[in-house]
Amino acid sequence: MDRWQAMRIFVKVAETESFADTARQMFMSAPAVTRAVASLEDLIGARLLVRTTRSVKMTEAGVRYFEDCRRILADIAEAEAAAGGSYATPTGTLSITASALFGQMYVLPVVTDYLDTYPTMKAKTLFIDRPVNIVEEGIDVAVRIGHLPDSNLSAVKVGTVRRVMCGSPKYFERFGVPKSPADLKDHRIAASTAAWASPEWKFGDDLRVSVDATLQCNTNEAAIQSAREGWGLTRVLNYQIGPALVAGELQIILSEFEEPPLPIHILHPEGRHAPAKVRAFVDMAAARLRENRLLN
């Protein structure tokens, strides 16, 4: 096995923290993965990885070698792609993840435009309301809402969203408009249990209000629909009700009591060494999302 392939295997083991996962993702046998890492350790004369009961961890030497390997392999890939002309042209399949509703409403239109722009490309979307480890799951690009933990991922901020209270004009005609969060106890509330399921809702200036929802819905869409029909009030992220706001079916209330906005970022693992397919999508998505007034 050549040294470059052994380095690729070592990097994948370090990223996944698993010999078995590396073997599966690289279509190799587990013993072959083990031999590749062992050959590097023999060549270098240092231990790179240590097995624990649950995973594989890098040694201090392994951490330094991991960063060097990633840089070297990225430089090789860039040189090969440039020589073949593919560095400037997106090729292959692009995988993208985002939360379910945001992905369907705002990311999917970018994906389809991207495919129209680059007809030889293919795409896979994973729109799902659960944390996705994009390195372990082999995802090229993620769109995330909320404050980001520290990581080695490249992040591009593209907008913000607000958590808002809303209701329909028909509801306000029947029951009036709450003037403060404390007034919510006197109103019908439809709450989604899909997220922020706590009965205590937090508003700006650390104001907290206990909410006894009359209607609990397992999806945001159901809670929003009940508000559109004039049954009650609900609390969601403003992007989720964008079409209803434009149509005049819903109105935002209590905006002076809102929490600070949440940031939206586009994430990808490769940084400046990202392949053309990733760079092209990130550029297109950033431009599209930044020009959306609901997200800025």
CB 95 within 8 A of CB 127: no
Q: Specify the pLDDT at position 185.
A: 93
pLDDT tens-digit readout, 122-147: 999 999 988 888 988 889 999 999 99
Is the sign of the CA dihedral 265, 140, 287, 275 positive or negative?
positive
Q: Is the pLDDT confidence value at 79 over 90?
A: no
The tens digit of pLDDT for each residue in 84-121 reads: 555 568 889 999 999 999 999 999 999 999 999 999 99
pLDDT one-digit tens code per residue, 228-284: 999 999 999 999 999 999 999 999 999 999 999 999 999 998 776 788 899 999 999
| Domains, the chain | 3-84 (1.10.10.10), 93-159+265-295 (3.40.190.10), 163-257 (3.40.190.10)
**What confidence score (pLDDT) does residue 78 get?**
73
pLDDT tier at 198, thresholds 50, 70, 90: low
- Distance between CA atoms of 192 and 160, rounded to whole angstroms? 21
pLDDT of residue 196: 52
- Residue 47 has which token pair? 């231990």
* pTM summary value: 0.68
Distance CA 168, CA 233 (A): 8
Q: Which of 156, 142, 196 is nearest to 287 (CA)?
A: 156
pLDDT beyond 70 at 194: no
